Amino acid sequence: MKILWGREDSEFVARFLFNKGIFRRLKFKAIAYHIYHKENSKKMLESNHQIYLDTIKNKKISWR
């Protein structure tokens, strides 16, 4: 499955939060990096959004 663009970060965070319900505020305690890349096609945005909504609805913790 090729994701392409959109909602991957949101879906990843949702799975993280559903994993034992552990959430810790990391403000000023962690470093985040985003590697610059050319923006990909947004043609999969709606499909990826549905994956995100399914993750929320079913509280999935696995990407499968």
* Tens digits of residue pLDDT in 11-64: 878 888 887 767 677 778 878 787 887 877 888 888 888 988 998 899 888 766
Which domain does 41 fall in, by range?
Answer: 8-58
**Residue 63 maps to a domain:** no
Q: What is the CA radius of gyration of the chain?
A: 13
DSSP secondary structure letter of residue 5: S
pLDDT at 1 over 60: no
Into how many domains does the chain fold?
1
**Residue 54 confidence (pLDDT):** 92
Among the listed residues 8, 15, 13, 1, the one whose alpha carbon sits nearest the alpha carbon of residue 49: 8
**Residue 1 maps to a domain:** no
pLDDT at 5 over 90: no
pTM tops 0.75, yes or no: no
**Residue 28 maps to a domain:** yes
Confidence of residue 2 (pLDDT cuts 50, 70, 90): low
